[in-house]
């Protein structure tokens, strides 16, 4: 029987701390596992991301191309098949997050037509694909396009 008095961690889960710089007989003495002398052997060593020892870094050797559109709208993609599995008659914006169908909070919701829709359903989202709209109408449901972020 397991009790607090006989609990132990799994075999191999707890390891002894590596004691460095304790003499040559320890196997980690003299240079304390830091190799021979040089910048990396010193205490306080750190280098910037992408630093290549003075050589022109790769990120600066490559040409710059294109740009990033800072006004691009982000969307959480949700498929009709996933909405059908929920078995709800109405789906609001908050339901996507509650049911873990969407994760990015600042982004909108876009419904795509992947999967089958077997029952009548009222779906609220920021965008719908044309095929998704057709499937919703065919099933007798309703697609409501909402503006802005309601999450």
Q: For residue range 90-132, what is the model confidence (pLDDT) as tens digits?
A: 999 999 999 999 999 889 999 999 999 999 999 999 999 999 9
Judge if 129 and 86 occupy the same domain: yes
Residue 57 pLDDT > 70: yes
User: How much is the mean pLDDT over the chain?
Assistant: 91
Which residues form the domain of 26?
A: 20-66
Choose the final residue of a domain: 66, 100, 120: 66
- Whether 93 and 138 share a structural domain: yes
Q: Per-residue pLDDT for 150 more than 60?
A: no
Please tell me whether residues 82 and 141 are part of one structural domain. Answer: yes
Are 28 and 62 found together in one domain?
Answer: yes
Please tell me the total count of domains within the chain: 2
For residue 93, tell me if it sits in a domain: yes
Residue 75 has pLDDT above 80, yes or no: yes
Q: ∠ at Cα 112 (76, 142), nearest 5°?
A: 105
Same domain, 79 and 134: yes
pLDDT of residue 101: 92
pTM, entire model:
0.58
Answer yes or no: is 52 within a domain: yes
Please choose, from the candidates 113, 138, 141, the residue with its C-alpha nearest in 3D space to the C-alpha of residue 128: 113
Indicate if 92 and 128 belong to the same structural domain.
yes
The secondary element (H helix, E strand) that includes residue 82 is helix 80-86
User: pLDDT tens digit string along 17-50?
Assistant: 999 999 999 999 989 989 989 888 999 999 899 9
Distances (CA, A) of 39 to 5, 30, 49, 51, 116: 49, 16, 16, 13, 62
User: CB count, 10 Å around CB of 81?
Assistant: 15
pLDDT at site 52 = 92
């Amino acid at each position: 029987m397991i009790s607090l008095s006989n609990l132990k961690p799994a075999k191999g889960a707890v390891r002894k701390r590596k004691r460095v710089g304790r003499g040559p007989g320890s196997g980690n003495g003299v240079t304390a596992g830091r190799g021979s002398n040089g910048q990396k052997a010193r205490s306080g060593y750190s280098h910037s991301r992408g630093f290549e020892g003075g050589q022109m870094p790769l990120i600066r050797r490559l040409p710059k191309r294109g740009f990033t559109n800072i006004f691009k709208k982000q969307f959480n993609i949700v498929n009709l098949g996933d909405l059908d599995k929920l078995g709800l008659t109405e789906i609001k914006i908050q339901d996507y997050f509650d049911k873990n169908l969407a994760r990015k909070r600042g982004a909108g919701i876009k419904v795509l037509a992947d999967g089958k829709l077997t029952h009548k359903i009222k779906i609220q989202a920021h965008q719908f694909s044309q095929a998704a709209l057709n499937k919703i109408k065919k099933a007798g449901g309703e697609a409501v396009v909402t503006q802005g972020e309601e999450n």
